[in-house]
Structures are given as C-alpha cells and as structure tokens.
Amino acid sequence: MSQDIYLTGITTTGTPHIGNYVGAIRPCVTASKDSSVRNFYFLADYHALAKNEDPDKVGQSTLEIAAAWLALGLDTDNATFYRQSDIPEIMELTWVLTSMTAKGLMNRAHSYKAAVAANEEGGNKDPDKGITMALYSYPILMAADILMFKATKVPVGRDQQQHVEMVRDIAQRFNHHYGDVLVLPKAVIGDNTAVLAGLDGRKMSKSYNNAIPLFADEKRLRKLIMKIKTNSLEPGEPKDIEGSTLYDTYKAFATEEETLEIEKRYREGIAWGEMKQVLFEYINDHIKPARDEYERLMADPAIVEQELLKGAKRAREIAVPYMDEIRSAVGIRKLG
C-alpha cells in the first residue's frame, strides 16, 4: 500500500473566522507538522472567480488567508502550501478533464443545482440567471486540483462530498479511455471536527453575516462576543450547556478540564455577562501570539509571497512531469 496523500483547497473569498479556525485551519496546521503524512494545502484563487468576486477582494482575501495559516504555525517545510494560480498545469489539466466529463454529470452538481433553485425561488424566468460556466463546471477544476497531485484523501465539509465523488467519476472515465493514469481520491468528512455557531446561533458563515473574524482586534473581538445570543435566564439560575453558543465556543478552544469547570459554573448559574467575559479572555489569550504574527505578515506581504512561491516550486516539481505524462496519454505529443 503506498502512502496516503492528503490535499485540500481553500477558496479565497472573505477573511478567516473562528469557525474556519476550529473546523479546518487548526486540524490542518496540526497535520502539517506530522512528518509521516504528505499534505498539500492550496489557496483556490481561480475558484474565487466563479463567484465573480471583485479583483481587489480576491487579492486581499488570498493574502489574509495565507497570512492566517502561516501565523498559526503551518509547517511549510513538511506540508506543501501553494496558490492554485501559480501552477499553470492545473489549468491545462482542467481542459483535458473537461473533455472527459459528461455534461449530464455537471447538471447534477450541488453547487449548480443550488444556484438554479435560488433563481426559481426568486421567481426568475431564466433558471440559469447569473450562473457562469465557471460555477457550472467548477467540479472539473476541483478535479484537476486533486488529480494533479495524485491525492488519495480529500478532507472537505459535507457540502463538498458530492463534488469529490464526481472527481472519482471523471478520473474513472479518463482511465477507462486512456489507461491507468489518474489516481482515484476519497473524500474525508470530518464529522468530529467542531462546527461553530455564529452570533445569531445559526452556523457561523460569512454569508449569514454572523461570523467572528479570527484576527479581529481586542476591542472588536470583545464587542462581537458580547453580541452572542443567549436566553433570558437570570444570574444565579442554573443554565443548560446544550444549545449554548457561548459554551460550545468555549469548548472548541479550551482543554477538557477547563470545559468541565465551566460546566460546573453553568450548573451554579453563572451570569451570561460573566460567561461572555470568560470566553472573551480565553479566546483573546489563545489567539494573541498568532494575531501579532498575522499583523507582522500583513504589514510585509513579501514574506507571504516568498512562502507561496516556495510551495509552488515544490508543487510544480510534481505537476510539470505528471502533466507531460497526461498530455502524452491523450495524444498531445512531440512530433519528432
């Protein structure tokens, strides 16, 4: 059995929030330090175009996400950390795979179907209104991201599981036609990674406008934590940990012992105002060293650029020769 290769992408829209941190960044940073595992992490900046993002925002988001991962201690000597657009072979592979992808398969992609459903609900006559070809066929770009590095394991949220299954379908069809060239990946769904609720109690998401940015400054962080929704129980009344966003968020950061201590204080009737203060201090202390490093990197983007170029160089050592092999397999060959 050959070694597993893990690969995951982060679309460069928005700025990282604490839900991204506990759900994705933290487990990836931990995995990046494990020398027995091969990890690829990349900034999916071409994916950001599918949503017609503002050009300045795409650039800013790329910088913020890269700086955040680096500030949190990503081991870029062990893991390969790169920007998708620095690997032109991914784009070449996208076209080759597009030629092997059934249109009917793309009709069934969740991302596309969700956009159509939103149009229908909105009473639009044209179900494809505002839908770009990039959004329609973005599982193919995702396939190129994954297949380019022969990834066997792809950690993603449940919403991306179907897309990874489509990658398998595409790779299988390719191999059937051209021989055994591509490696079939499997999605890894992190059921035990924490999903945080946002300020209003719904899942934390930038599209709900309920997120706490990971590197908000102290003042803003305090202000946002004070806004987290609670019930109307008075100080001194015992409180339930079940369904308490304050509790769940504390638990996602604290040790088991500290969490048990907070459970006790809930039973004793800790006031919501006090719990908010406890949570603010805990997160602030936890984040502070990384926030200082993040600010240093944001002030000197050349350091971040260097890191990404280092990753791209390593990634292309794999992608360039493999793309030659793939091109040759499909009949794009030197003539003499």
Q: Which residue ranges make up the site for ligand TRP (CB under 6 A)?
A: 7-9, 11, 44, 47, 142, 145-146, 154, 156, 160
* C-alpha span between 166 and 45 (Å, rounded): 21
Q: Which residues pair with 189 in a beta bridge?
A: 156
Minimum gap (Å) between residue 114 Cβ and ligand TRP: 12
Closest C-alpha among 99, 118, 91, 107 to residue 162: 107
* C-alpha span between 21 and 195 (Å, rounded): 10
Helix, strand, coil tally for the chain in percent (to 5): 60, 10, 35
Q: Count other C-beta atoms under 10 Å from residue 280's C-beta.
A: 18
Minimum gap (Å) between residue 329 Cβ and ligand TRP: 22
* Strands annotated E in 176-319: 186-189
Q: Which is nearer to ligand TRP, 81 or 250 (by Cβ)?
A: 81
Minimum gap (Å) between residue 144 Cβ and ligand TRP: 9
Q: Give the type of residue at 309.
A: L
Residue 256: CA count within 13 A, CB half-sphere: 0
Q: DSSP code of 204?
A: P
Q: Which is nearer to ligand TRP, 96 or 224 (by Cβ)?
A: 96
Minimum gap (Å) between residue 63 Cβ and ligand TRP: 18
Minimum gap (Å) between residue 156 Cβ and ligand TRP: 5
CA dihedral 9, 12, 16, 22 (to 10 degrees): -10
Minimum gap (Å) between residue 210 Cβ and ligand TRP: 19
Q: Which is nearer to ligand TRP, 24 or 225 (by Cβ)?
A: 24
Q: Which is nearer to ligand TRP, 9 or 213 (by Cβ)?
A: 9
* C-alpha span between 309 and 42 (Å, rounded): 12
Q: Which is nearer to ligand TRP, 142 or 270 (by Cβ)?
A: 142
3-state SS, residue 210: coil
Taking only Cα atoms into account, the Rg of the chain, rounded to an integer number of angstroms, comes to: 22
Identify whether the C-beta of residue 45 lies closer than 8 Å to the C-beta of residue 83: yes
Minimum gap (Å) between residue 84 Cβ and ligand TRP: 8
3-state SS, residue 213: strand
Q: Which is nearer to ligand TRP, 11 or 249 (by Cβ)?
A: 11
Closest C-alpha among 47, 2, 230 to residue 138: 47
Q: Which is nearer to ligand TRP, 194 or 303 (by Cβ)?
A: 194
Q: Which is nearer to ligand TRP, 5 or 224 (by Cβ)?
A: 5
Tokens of 181: 């060239």
Residue 302: CA count within 13 A, CB half-sphere: 1
Minimum gap (Å) between residue 167 Cβ and ligand TRP: 8
Q: Please give the residue whose beta carbon sits closest to ligand TRP in the complex.
A: 9
Minimum gap (Å) between residue 194 Cβ and ligand TRP: 17
Q: Give the type of residue at 143.
A: A
Q: Which is nearer to ligand TRP, 8 or 152 (by Cβ)?
A: 8
